[in-house]
Amino acid sequence: MALSPTSLDRYIDGQSSVHALDARVKLLLALGCALALALLPAGAWAGMLACALLIWLAVLRSGVGLPTILGRAVVALPFALVAVTLVFSRPGAPLFTLALGPLRLTATDTGVVAFVSVVLKSWLSVQAALLLTATTHFTDVLYALRALRLPAVFIAILSFAYRYLFVMVDEAQRMLRARECRSAELPGRRGGGSLAWRAAVVGRMAGTLFLRAYERSERIYVAMLARGYSGEIRGLGARPLHSAEQGLLTVGLGLLAGVVYLSYVL
């Protein structure tokens, strides 16, 4: 079954005030939250809790469901586990020793605090990004990025990647269906041959998919040039932010800055 844009898009339709908020405000607040979490010192549990409460309050206000955001944010945890080396590399009071053959790794209290801090910061930052994508159409995010003066070529790359991701997934699924139709199953044996044969077929499929993508991109680019494309995404222009939106942005960034400041002085 081919994937549709709705199966890959993370947007959740709603009528909340968070959905109606200007994409530029939501983008700046999400970036500010991620920056504030990154600036928090290791072990600043109160500051992390304050950021978590701000994010969860916005999630509840949006109506997308806190379990939905928390469930999607789990994807960040395996990547954050890369920081497990901090447990054994930071100097501090020893907690336990792990023997790996001739190696003996000693975990320290400072390392554990640093590791847990990295995991929590990553988890909360992903939640802020997920809330942005769950309440904002991707095209609105692109226009917000352009309004914030990001390079036009960067916006164009993101736009094309989002648009043609579904095309390439559909192309790959058609190739997989064709392979399955040509892989007969014998009694007591898996269809399609040995593992080496399957690996060779997958390699050829990947190469074919790359060539098809390259040829399609050439045709699309020529067609866009014929229609007057100059590398700039056309839009109606960014409207000025309302006073309420400016106030919310100021208060939100001020709260995040205050959390960071208090985490260092207290």
pLDDT given at position 36:
96
Q: Which two tokens stand for residue 263?
A: 């985490």
pLDDT given at position 81:
79
* C-alpha span between 40 and 34 (Å, rounded): 10
pLDDT given at position 7:
47
Residue pair 94/116 in contact (Cβ under 8 Å)? The answer is no
* C-alpha span between 130 and 255 (Å, rounded): 20
CB atoms inside a 10 Å sphere around CB 154? 12
Q: How far is the first Cα of the chain from the last one, in angstroms, to the nearest whole number?
A: 56
Ranges of each domain in the chain: 11-136+239-265, 151-179+201-235
CA distances (Å), origin 161, targets 145, 149, 207: 15, 20, 19
Residue pair 156/233 in contact (Cβ under 8 Å)? The answer is yes
Q: Tell me, what amino acid is at 117?
A: S
pLDDT given at position 86:
84
**Residue whose token pair is 């269809």:** 191
pLDDT given at position 56:
95
User: How large a percentage of the chain has pLDDT more than 90?
Assistant: 32
pLDDT given at position 30:
94
pLDDT given at position 39:
95
Reported as a single tens digit per residue, the pLDDT across 208-221 is 888 888 888 888 88
Q: Which of 27, 194, 35 is nearest to 125 (CA)?
A: 35
* C-alpha torsion 186→189→194→195, nearest 10: 130
Q: Which of 127, 156, 161, 126 is nearest to 142 (CA)?
A: 156
Single pTM value for the model: 0.77
Spans of the chain below 50 pLDDT: 1-7
pLDDT given at position 235:
63
